């Protein structure tokens, strides 16, 4: 591939040639993961898939439920002495958040304002399974460190 000097205008022909050379090189390179397309989104699912099929396991869908859930959340405040350190090391929080952000990303279901609105209603089971999409994999791809897609780990099967 020809070297291009700094400040020189690149022609479309040179750009196409460089693109072809790069594609040819990457097809043979062990680093070809760096140019693969990102994964398709997939639906989130439930940890225990059969529980939500029984209405007895679900919260009642009433107009007061969002307010009751907010009240429950407000009751879960830390009552430690102000200014005192928590007995839980901060590393657990940061590591847990790092892992969570590496395996899940959902950005299309609602805005923060919509989530805080008094008119918030729960999503139906069909909406959860059909509309709420995860655009990350369940693996630790480390794409937040290396960019997407991050290098995969090649494991040699035991003989």
Domain boundaries, given as residue ranges, for the chain: 9-37, 39-71+89-154
The pLDDT of residue 60: 86
Which has more confidence, 78 or 54? 54
Residue found under tokens 């760096």: 34
What is the C-alpha to C-alpha distance for residues 49 and 56, in angstroms, rounded to an integer?
14
- DSSP for 2-70? ----TTPPPPHHHHHHHHHHHHHHHHH-TTGGGGSPPPPPEE---SSTTGGGSGGGSPP--TTHHHHHH
Which has more confidence, 57 or 27? 57
Which has more confidence, 90 or 27? 90
Q: Is the pLDDT reported for residue 15 higher than 90?
A: no
At 68-121, the pLDDT tens digits run 988 998 898 777 677 777 788 889 989 999 988 888 888 777 778 887 787 777
Q: Is the pLDDT reported for residue 62 higher than 80?
A: yes
What is the C-alpha to C-alpha distance for residues 135 and 132, in angstroms, rounded to an integer?
10
Closest CA to 120 of 131, 130, 129, 109: 109
**pLDDT-above-70 percentage for the chain:** 76
CB 126 within 8 A of CB 151: no
Q: Is the pLDDT reported for residue 35 higher than 80?
A: no
What is the C-alpha to C-alpha distance for residues 23 and 19, in angstroms, rounded to an integer?
6
């Amino acid at each position: 591939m020809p070297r291009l000097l700094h400040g020189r205008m690149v022609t479309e022909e040179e750009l196409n040639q460089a693109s072809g050379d790069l594609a040819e090189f990457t097809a043979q390179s062990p680093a070809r993961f760096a140019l693969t397309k990102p994964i398709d989104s997939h639906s989130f699912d439930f940890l225990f898939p059969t529980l939500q099929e029984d209405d007895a396991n679900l919260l009642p869908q009433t107009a007061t439920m969002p307010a009751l859930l907010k009240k429950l959340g407000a009751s879960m405040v830390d009552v430690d002495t102000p200014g005192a350190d928590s007995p839980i090391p901060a590393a657990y929080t940061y590591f847990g958040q790092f892992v969570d952000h590496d395996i899940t990303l959902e950005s299309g279901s609602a805005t923060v304002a919509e989530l805080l609105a008094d008119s918030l209603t729960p999503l139906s089971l069909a909406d959860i399974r059909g509309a709420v999409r995860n655009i990350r994999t369940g693996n630790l791809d480390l794409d937040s460190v290396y960019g997407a897609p991050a290098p995969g780990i090649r494991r040699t099967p035991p003989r």
